[in-house]
A = this chain, B = another copy of it.
Amino acid sequence: MNEEKLFCPVEKALAVISGKWKPHIFRHLIGRTKRFGELQRALPQVTRKILTQQLRELADDGVVIRNVYPQVPPKVEYSLSDYGKTLIPIMSSLSGWGQAHIERDNHGGAKQPDG
């Protein structure tokens, strides 16, 4: 998100995947290329501006490929790069942990650290 150097690798990784809609975009691009409009329909809550913004950041970080077809009307396709695909297992781990955390919140009632 900003250009300054992040010296902590974890922060660096988080900087790439942190963004309100990036996990969703990522999920929708797993296994398939999608046009801008398709992503928009898949994520109706996101405005064009923000969707563009997040996609550009992902592209700038090299995890997403932006393919512009010089046509009228324009056609732009987005897909995961091979590099971006290396994030899949990580996103998967995060998802698993987050799922457990959510369940913990729910039937946990009061918070009782177990360590």
Contact = CB atoms under 8 A, between A and B. Distances in A.
Contacts of A18: 14, 18
A100 B9 CA distance: 8
Interface residues of A, number: 48
B14 A114 contact: no
> Number of copies of this chain in the oligomer?
2
Contact of A101 (B12, B65, B81, B111): B12
B65 A115 contact: yes
Interface string A70-105: 000000000111111111011101111111111010
A93 B87 CA distance: 10
Interface in A1-24: 6, 8-14, 16-18, 23-24
Interface of A: 6, 8-14, 16-18, 23-24, 27, 59-62, 64-65, 79-87, 89-91, 93-102, 104, 111-115
